[in-house]
Amino acid sequence: MKYKYIILLLVFFMGSCTKDFLEKAPLDQISDASFWTTDNDLMIYVNYYYRVFPTYKGRGNGQYQADYESDNMAQETPYARFQGVLSVPTSAGDSKYNSDWYKFYDLPYNFDWIRGINILLANYQRVTSPWDQARQYVGEAYFFRAYMYFDLLRFYGELPWISKPLTSESEELYSSRLPRNVVTDSIVADLDKAIDYMKSKGDVSASRLNSEIALLFKSRVCLYEGTWEKYHAGTSFGATGSDGSKFLNLAASTAKELMDKGLYSINNTGNPNKDYENCFNQTDYSNNPEIMLWKEYSSELGFENYSQMALTGWYDWIGYGGVTRWLVDSYLCNDGLPISTSPLYAGDASLKDEFKNRDPRFYQTIFKPGDPVRIESNEDTVTVFTIPTFNEFNNSRTGFRLKKGLDPHNLIPGQQNGETGHMLFRYAEALMNFAEAKSELGTLTQADVDISVNLLRDRVNMPHLIIDNISHDPNWDFPSLSPIINEIRRERRVEFGCEGMRKDDLMRWRAHELFVNKRPKGVRFIQSDYPDIEVGVDINVDEDGYVDIYQKILPNGFQFNPSRDYLLPLSINELTLNPKLEQNPGWN
């Protein structure tokens, strides 16, 4: 996404861009003197909210390390929510509840931002510009309100719905929480307005949201809520009187509407060993037909990031963790069979063996021996990955070192930072949302698979998924569910591995059994490769020889409480300020 002019406008208009801007009174009278005159006022105002999107932060690798909050990756310190050690905070700003790598979900903070959007929606009709010039920015405002409410829904469940600017005297300050499916109806209604008001790809700048992105996000919201309601039915987290089918149907139809437009496609140039990888490591995505929105970085403008530094080892933040064996074992062999049944599986006696005959997305996501890590000085200096380093600089605690997002050339000469673009929305999600929604409804056909999952497999030259010829996997994650649901979920895990989607998937599927009372494992440890590392002192290894990074920290595995931890608690301050709010289940 090209942010150049957006950033320059923000610098000019907002100055230091802190949330204090949204707290300055009287915000709802900002139009009285000079604002809300032209569509340009709307554009300048709504530009601020592009900040809600994921980005590279500090010296980390952005969304590509967000799966530390899932079973796909493990860092040095276990994820507190999965440990089951969170407690009710005094205030919603408690730092331990803001561990999500690329979102903000501080309850008052979100409503500050929602209030800012409500101000625009209460005033945009004062603008005298023609509607065709103003509607794009109004549509963006509806999108951002939906986006922020969806964040709140995922973390807190039932919510008050506030759709107008409030004052200190407003009764709505003391609103009760609405059922989650009612909140989702309002989110969908906002997205419908965004779809209607925003312009299509090609009719609006590539640096802005468009109608198709709103369609994609609507399919995400509906799939989330539909599966949440289906799998949490009968629990304290379910939606009374709703089985999720309404939202699953909406997810499927919305994704299909986007697919039928034909404005985006899977990035497939015929190079199965690079096309998937190249969705995540480019400085410019302008010509990538799959990337729907992205953020550009430019050393010329002073906007750079440290993602390549993290991945190439100049900084060891990303090295403190690694990919788990749980994710690694999900990758099929290149005959389309799982490792439990494929004759092509070479075993895991060494890291090199693990990569033999596997889905190419495996070695485009995780370093395999021989991969270049850094290429410097016009390719005169090449650093390659050989074996994992567990207790050294740029180590990987599990031994499976993340590669996704890496371009070994992409460091600014003489510096440690780079200009890798940040992918925000990609079209592949629409295909997977469509396939999953229909599989959950029991209406998925082979024709549906061929226009969705199999297009993703075509990119990496993997055999097609054939509904009537699914090989039984004794190690399916969800043995009580149908083979097609298991394989769709596997495909989603592999396609979006280490992109920050996995935690949401686990939450909406009510999939705690995958990790409760269990610990993530890593590579098989080969002592002869590490003569200076002492097992039990420098590294922990389980009885089968696999790296066991939490062996001493979590002797009983993750203790996530399925009666409590699917939602975060409201803070004591929030409950005190509004007696009509009720605490989430299990937190009293």
Query: What's the pLDDT tens digit per position in 256-295?
Result: 999 999 999 999 999 999 999 999 999 899 999 999 999 9
pLDDT at 4 over 60: no
Identify which of 102-111, 162-171, 188-197, 384-393 has the greatest average pLDDT. Answer: 188-197
Give 497 or 374, the one with higher predicted confidence.
497
Per-residue confidence (pLDDT) for residue 493, from 0 to 100: 98
Give 349 or 55, the one with higher predicted confidence.
349
pLDDT at 502 over 90: yes
Residue 376: its H or E element? strand 372-376
Per-residue confidence (pLDDT) for residue 91, from 0 to 100: 78
Task: For residue 503, give the amino acid letter.
Answer: K
Q: Quick: pLDDT tens for 59-103.
A: 566 778 889 999 999 988 899 999 999 999 887 665 444 444 333
pLDDT at 402 over 80: yes
In this prediction, what percent of the chain has a pLDDT beyond 90?
Answer: 72
The whole-number average pLDDT for the span 345-357 is 97
Whole-angstrom Cα distance, residue 82 to residue 417?
Answer: 33
* Mean pLDDT over the full length of the chain: 88
Non-local CB neighbours of 246 within 8 Å, separated by 6+ positions = 226
CB contact at 8 A, 475 and 329? yes
Per-residue confidence (pLDDT) for residue 394, from 0 to 100: 54
Per-residue confidence (pLDDT) for residue 57, from 0 to 100: 67
pLDDT at 31 over 60: no
Dmax (CA) for the chain in angstroms is: 75
Per-residue confidence (pLDDT) for residue 98, from 0 to 100: 43
Per-residue confidence (pLDDT) for residue 312, from 0 to 100: 64
SS3 156: helix
Q: Quick: pLDDT tens for 169-179.
A: 899 889 999 99
The whole-number average pLDDT for the span 236-265 is 97
Per-residue confidence (pLDDT) for residue 320, from 0 to 100: 61
Q: Cis omega before residue 26 (within 30°)? A: yes
pLDDT band at 411 (very low <50, low <70, confident <90, very high): low
Q: Quick: pLDDT tens for 419-478.
A: 888 889 999 999 999 999 999 999 999 999 999 999 999 999 999 999 999 999 999 999
CB contact at 8 A, 61 and 407? no
Q: Quick: pLDDT tens for 174-229.
A: 999 999 999 999 999 999 999 999 999 999 999 999 999 999 999 999 999 999 99
293 phi and psi, to 5 degrees?
-155, 135
Per-residue confidence (pLDDT) for residue 436, from 0 to 100: 99
If we measure between CA atoms, which residue out of 188, 235, 195 comes closest to residue 213? 195
Segments in 72-179 forming alpha helices (H): 80-83, 107-123, 131-156
**Residues recorded for the chain:** 588
Per-residue confidence (pLDDT) for residue 485, from 0 to 100: 98
pLDDT at 374 over 50: yes
SS3 290: coil
CA dihedral over 63, 47, 16, 416, signed as positive or negative: positive
Radius of gyration from C-alpha coordinates of the chain: 24
pLDDT at 104 over 60: no
Per-residue confidence (pLDDT) for residue 138, from 0 to 100: 98
Q: What is the pTM of this model?
A: 0.92
Non-local CB neighbours of 403 within 8 Å, separated by 6+ positions = 277, 311, 363, 364, 365, 366, 367, 371
pLDDT band at 304 (very low <50, low <70, confident <90, very high): confident
pLDDT at 318 over 70: no
Tokens of residue 252, six digits: 């499927």
Give 46 or 57, the one with higher predicted confidence.
46
Eight-class DSSP state of 211: H
Mind listing the domains of the chain with CATH numbers? 4-55+96-271 (1.25.40.390), 425-516 (no CATH)
Q: Quick: pLDDT tens for 114-160.
A: 999 999 999 999 999 999 999 999 999 999 999 999 999 999 999 99
According to DSSP, the residues that pair with 374 across neighbouring strands are 383
Give 292 or 314, the one with higher predicted confidence.
292
The whole-number average pLDDT for the span 337-346 is 98
C-alpha dist (Å) from residue 532 to 29, 213, 321, 527: 68, 52, 21, 9
Residue 74: its H or E element? strand 73-74
In this prediction, what percent of the chain has a pLDDT beyond 70?
Answer: 86
